[in-house]
Amino acid sequence: MSTNKIPEIHKKEQQVVMHSWCVQQEWAAPTITGGQGAQFWDDSGHHYIDMSSLAECSNLGHQHPRVIAAIKAQADQLCFITSEWGAEPRRALAQKLLEVSEFEGGRVFFTLAGADANENAVKFARWASGKAAGAVVARQRSYHGASMATMNFSGDPRGDKYPLTEKVLRVAPPYCYRCPFGFSDANACARECVSDIRAVIEQAGAAEVAAVLMESHAGTNGIVAPADYWSALHGLCAEQDVVLIADEVMAGFGRTGKWFGWQHAGAEFRPDMMTLAKGITGAHIPLGAVVVSADINARLEASMLYTGLTYSGHPLSCAAGLAAVRAYEEEGLIARSHDLGQALFAQLQQLKQRHTIIGDIRGAGLFAVIELVNNRTSREPIVAWGGVNAGLRALVNEARRQGVSFAVRSNLLILAPPLVITETELATALSLLDKLLSQFSATITGTLS
């Protein structure tokens, strides 16, 4: 969009701010001035139902009252002290995270976001394992952040723009709709994907592999592993003495109907570490964390921790995080995500029956991936992974004009509304999606006559 079509106040931001993941001179977006619950609104008063929790982070919706109150109260008392000194919100949040994750005897290292949580988790894995230069096993079609190291860890086409600075062993994803090994049975596909990881570790030598870094559930990659995958992966890592890190940045805090995505496999398959961000404060203030198990803690606690962040455990962020975790717990939002998610998936299956452009629907809780195809039989995607489909972008723009904000990536529609979304708001958004799929399907698939 050319700048002469952008309202003056928006043009001013475009001229002075570098915005993420876009061509700078093409950025054009309205100015958002407020929000409440599952809605936000712009400076013209136009409201949007948020069907993606923005960047899959506003799990508590916008301006959650108890989080706002906690931020205000902490700001009045103490905005900042470094981690050289104690801070009650930091201690209380760490203890609460260990409690809800059942990482008894572990510890928490606080970061600013998900990328530095993943970077530090890999550091800890290397130190705890005694493999200072050990490789990291990570999947194709994955995302762990946009720092230099985490883009190396990520199996993401955008990572091609980054020089390789990390030792990464790439393995096949459990993308069972398009199984990389040709299996039609999802669990057979999952088992073969774990066998692929075994082969990669054994070829490198387990003594040379420090960690396996995996998203526990779907991220914007749109891949949801079958039930057998995580348990088999956990067993493999234990057998090979390789640290298992669960990237819970997007799946954590009720998104999939559990506190954390790995919990779908059961408590006995707890990872060695998990990384957190986004939902930890419901995105009200930046915060990330690495939660380490009792075993990893025991290996590290008597040694100097050669890492640090000025804002690690920032009291204001931790106060927001503590209020957020209490809100998830006391307002029953984890269970609500599970229950409302079942209703969501039932409605999505009805959409699939009406629209042949929908090839697959997968996910859990309030995290749904809708994969769009040109042809259900061939499963040809509407655009190659990493590409942009102009018809789908037009659908998104029209949805926003009509008051609903959807997230898309390549051939995926990703539904991840706030856990506080009302049933009426959800029904309104899905009704609009139904109408727009009818309106835009031919344009999206290139069959418009």
Residue 2 has pLDDT above 50, yes or no: no
Q: How far apart are CA 235 and CA 160, in angstroms?
A: 32
Contact partners, residue 184, CB within 8 Å, separation at least 6:
none
Q: How far apart (Å, rounded) are the C-alpha atoms in residues 398 and 392?
A: 10
Q: What pLDDT was estimated at residue 8?
A: 72
302-346 tens-digit pLDDT: 999 999 999 999 999 999 999 999 999 999 999 999 999 999 999
Question: What whole-number distance in Å separates Cα of residue 245 and Cα of residue 137?
Answer: 10
DSSP conformation class of 209 = E
Mean pLDDT of the chain: 95
* Per-residue pLDDT, 321: 98
CA distances from 343 to 43, 339, 364, 366, 430 (A): 33, 7, 11, 10, 11
Q: Is the pLDDT of residue 9 over 80?
A: no
pLDDT tens for residues 135-186? 999 999 999 999 999 999 999 999 888 988 999 999 999 999 999 999 999 9
Q: What's residue 380's pLDDT?
A: 97
Q: pLDDT tens, 356-369?
A: 999 999 999 999 99
**pLDDT tens digits for 117-140?**
999 999 999 999 999 999 999 999
Question: How does residue 5 score in pLDDT terms, banded at 50, 70 and 90?
Answer: low
Please give the domain boundaries of the chain with CATH numbers for all domains. Answer: 31-63+332-445 (3.90.1150.10), 65-330 (3.40.640.10)
> Nearest Cα to 442, choosing from 386, 378, 394?
394
Please say if the pLDDT value at position 300 is more than 70: yes
Over the stretch 40-79, which tens digit does the pLDDT of each residue have? 999 999 999 999 999 999 999 999 999 999 999 999 999 9
Q: Which residues lie below 8 Å from residue 215, measured CB to CB, with a gap of 6+?
A: 139, 142, 143, 144, 221, 246, 247, 250, 251, 261
Percent of the chain with pLDDT over 90: 93
At residue 12 the predicted structure's pLDDT band, cuts being 50, 70 and 90, is: confident
Q: What is the mean pLDDT of residues 247-276?
A: 97
Residues 6+ apart with CB under 8 A from 189: 174, 176, 179, 180, 181, 183, 226
pTM of the model: 0.96
Q: Residue 448: its pLDDT value, please?
A: 58
**Average pLDDT, stretch 84-97?**
98
Give the single-character DSSP code of 352.
Answer: H
CA distances from 278 to 17, 174, 281, 287, 412 (A): 22, 24, 7, 7, 21
pLDDT-derived band at 11, boundaries 50, 70, 90: confident
